[in-house]
Amino acid sequence: MTRTLISDAELRRPRTRAAYFAVLALVTVLFGLVFFFPLYWMASSALKTPSEFALSPPTFIPESFEPGNYADAWSEMRIARYFANTAFYALGGWLVQLVVDVAVAYALSKLRPVFGRLVLGLMLASLMLPAAALLVPAYLTVSDVPIVGVNLLNTPWALWLPAAANAFNIYVLKRFFDQIPDDLLDSASIDGAGRLRILWSVVLPLSRPVLGVVSIFAIIGIWKDFLWPLLVLQDPEKQTLSVALSRLSNTSQVPPTEMMAGLVIASIPMIVIFLIFQRSIVGGLSAGAMKG
């Protein structure tokens, strides 16, 4: 443990110590109120009857207990369908991203083709492109893909293919592959392994940590995305949970308690992923910060 602004010696002084615990208590309570209370509010409101929900002042511990709201949201708001859609988009998008980006990163890192650096540079340049700049032309591209001329609107590919063009993933993967010694690959090659075989049996098993981080971020990214799915999935049957919740809250007469249940259901996978992979998520985040 390195020392920080205030030293341990200072903290041992009775007055500083008292102040420290006062601040600690205050911050603990404040964080609970600011960051956890809204989530508690959401989950507990979903258990109320609509009339209790409308009470003013509100009840902080629900007097009614209507777990049926969750079931209603699941079936009547058809959350089950949107949930399944989103899970399908997230898993498919994760797979497509992983296959496409690993292949690019492997080729750039280990096969080192001519103009490889130019290709990498052009890909990295796209990181500087704000989504806003591409919104309209990318939409037009998806609606009528050049050369092949297919319409991807309302298909999963409208989410998967643009997501695969992820320069950040490629950069992170390439940096990791660069650290794998070429000798290891050469000896596999002498043993008769082809390039694909080397990727599969040597490079990928060594890259588990970085593949994990890339996977988590790919799934979180698709689950959280809103504007792009809003544009390319206008068919209600095909929508993601986020887009469907937005549409339902704008148009229909969903009771607020049912809506709250829907919000809780939409949050659960992200909260679970976060609690399980906290370390990699926070680590990946700070690594991103340090590398720029």
Partner 1 sequence: MAVSTTAKPGVARAGRPHHARPVRTGRRGRKVKDNLLAYAFMAAGIACFALFSWYPLVRGVILSFQQVNFVTDPYWVGLDNFRALFDDPLFWTAWKNTLVFTGLALIFGYAVPLGIAVLLNELRHFKAYFRVAVYLPVMLPPIVVVLLWKYFYDPGNGLFNTLLRGAHLPESQWTQSGSTAMISLVLVSTWANLGGATLMYLAALQGIPGELYEAAELDGASVWQRLRHVTLPQLRFIMLVLLLIQIIATMQVFIEPYQLTGTTNPDTITVMVLIYRYAFTVNHDFGLAAAMSVLLFVVLAIFSAIYLRLTRGGER
Q: Shortest Cβ distance from residue 162 to partner 1 (Å)?
A: 4
What is the pattern of x (binds partner 1, CB under 8 A) and - over residues 248-287?
-x------x--xx--x--xx--xx-xxx--x--xx--xx-
- Evaluate whether 109 touches 117 at the Cβ level (below 8 Å): no
Q: How deeply is 139 buried, as exposed, middle or buried, from its count of CB atoms within 10 A (0-12, 13-18, 19+)? A: middle
Which among 62-70, 74-82, 104-112, 206-214 is the span making contact with partner 1, rule CB under 8 A? 104-112
CA-CA distance, 247 to 245, in Å (whole number)?
A: 5
Site for partner 1 in 22-41 (CB under 8 A): 23-24, 27-28, 31-32, 34-36, 38-39, 41
Q: Shortest Cβ distance from residue 63 to partner 1 (Å)?
A: 16
Residue 150, sorted as left (phi over 0), alpha (psi -120 to 50) or beta, turns out to be beta
Q: Determine, following the binding rule CB under 8 A, whether residue 150 of this chain makes contact with partner 1.
A: no
What is the pattern of x (binds partner 1, CB under 8 A) and - over residues 43-82?
--x--------xxxxx------------------------
Instruction: Write the secondary structure of 108-167 as one string of H (helix), E (strand) and C (coil).
Output: HHHHCCCCHHHHHHHHHHHHHCCHHHHHHHHHHHHHCCCCCCCCCCCCCHHHHHHHHCCH
Q: Determine, following the binding rule CB under 8 A, whether residue 88 of this chain makes contact with partner 1.
A: no
Q: Determine, following the binding rule CB under 8 A, whether residue 205 of this chain makes contact with partner 1.
A: no
